[in-house]
Amino acid sequence: MIFRLLTIFPEFFRGPFEHGVVARAAQSSLLRIEIHNLRDWTYDFHQSVDDRPFGGGEGMVLKPQPVFEAVESIFPQRDPRKQRVVLLSAQGPLFNQRTARRLLEFEELLLICGRYEGVDERVSQHLADEEISIGDYVLSGGELAAAVVVDSVARLIPGVLGNPDSSIQESFSDLGQETGTSGILDCPHYTRPAVFRGWSVPEVLLGGNHAEIRKWRRQAALEKTRRLRPELLPNAPIGLEKIGLEKKG
Ligand code: SAM
C-alpha cells in the first residue's frame, strides 16, 4: 500500500515514520510512504499556498489551486477503486478502527493536511473523496491527524505486525463487526513481576490453562469496556446474554 501525504511541512513526518512498526514495514516494502510538498505546486517567488478569507475574518485559508494541481499530478488518471483522496479536517466524520479497515482496501491513500483556518471548501466539495476527523478537538494542522491514520491503517496490512494475531486480538477488533459498534476494548495485560508493590496479577494468568485464560480475557475485556467505554456496548445484539452481561437500560 502507498501512503501519500500532501503537506506544507514535509519534515514533520521524519519522526513518526522513522520508528517502530511503520518504519520496519517501509523498509521491508510492505508499504511505501511518499511525502509531497504542497509548495511544489506554486508559481510565485514566495511559494504561497494560502490567502485571506473572503468575507473577512481571522487567519488564512489554503488556496484551492495548489491542492487541486498537486492531487491531479499525483493521480493523473485517478482510479476511485484504487486511489482514495482524504482531507484531514476537524469537521469530518470521526475516524475509528472501522474506517481504518475500510481504507485498507485501497492501493493508494493520499492524505491532504490542512493548516491555518483550513482548506478552501472546494477541495472538500470537488476534490477529496472524503473528510476525516481524528477527534472532536482542533489541531493546528492535519499532519498529526494524517500520521494517526497512516499508523492505524499500516498496522492492519498483512505482514506488518510480527504476530498477525496482534491486530485481531486488540481493542476495537472483534465484537463491532457483529454488532455495528466500534468493537470492544482489549483485555488487560500484565508482565513480570507477578506481584508488584503488593498488587498481584490475576491468578488465572499464572496457571497455564489456556482455555481458562481465553475465557478470563474475554470477560475482562467486556468488563473493562463496560466500565470505561459503555457506549461501545449499547445494543450489542449478539451478545450480551451469550457473554453473560445483561443489556443496559
Ligand atoms: N477552522 C477549522 C475548524 O474550526 O474546523 C480548524 C482548522 S485547523 C486550525 C487546521 C487544519 O488542521 C485543518 O484544516 C485540518 O487539516 C487539521 N485538523 C485540525 N483538527 C483536526 C482533527 N480533529 N482531525 C483531523 N484534522 C484536523
Domain locations along the chain: 2-154, 168-243
Confirm if 87 and 124 have CB atoms less than 8 A apart.
yes
Of 184, 162, 88, which is closest to residue 129 (Cα–Cα)?
88
Give the CA distances from residue 200 to residues 194, 208, 221, in Å, rounded to whole numbers and listed in that order. Answer: 6, 16, 18
CATH classification for the domain delimited by 2-154, as one of 3.40.1280.10, 3.30.70.1290, 3.40.50.720, 3.40.50.300: 3.40.1280.10
Q: Facing residues of 196 across strands? A: 199
Measuring from atom 16 of ligand 1, which residue has the nearest CA?
Answer: 114
Phi first, then psi, for residue 4 (nearest 5°) are: -120, 135
Residues counted in the chain:
249
Compute the distance between CA of residue 2 and CA of residue 7 in angstroms, rounded to an integer. 16
How confident is the prediction along the chain (249 residues), in pLDDT tens digits per residue? Answer: 999 999 999 999 999 999 999 999 999 999 999 999 999 999 999 999 999 999 999 899 999 999 999 999 999 999 999 999 999 999 999 999 999 999 999 999 999 999 999 999 999 999 999 999 999 999 999 999 999 999 999 999 999 998 777 777 788 886 455 556 678 999 999 999 999 999 999 999 999 999 999 999 999 999 999 999 999 997 654 444 444 444 444
118 lines ligand 1 (CB under 6 A): yes
Where would I find the H helices in 117-191? Answer: 121-126, 142-154, 175-179
Compute the distance between CA of residue 240 and CA of residue 248 in angstroms, rounded to an integer. 9
**61-77 as b/e: b if 16+ CB within 10 A:** bbbbebbbebbeebbee
Atom in ligand 1 nearest the alpha carbon of residue 140:
9
Compute the distance from residue 241 Cα to the ligand 1 centre, in Å.
42
CATH T-level fold of 168-243: Trp Operon Repressor; Chain A (1.10.1270)
Pocket test for ligand 1, best of 63, 96, 133, 139 (most atoms within 8 A of CB): 139
Which secondary-structure segment (H or E) carries 108? Answer: strand 108-112
Compute the distance between CA of residue 37 and CA of residue 99 in angstroms, rounded to an integer. 26
Compute the distance from residue 187 Cα to the ligand 1 centre, in Å.
33
**Residue given cell 491503517 in the structure block:** 153
137 lines ligand 1 (CB under 6 A): yes
Compute the distance from residue 159 Cα to the ligand 1 centre, in Å.
32
Confirm if 14 and 7 have CB atoms less than 8 A apart.
no
- Measured over all CA atoms, what is the biggest interatomic distance in the chain, rounded to whole angstroms? 70
**Residue given cell 489541531 in the structure block:** 139
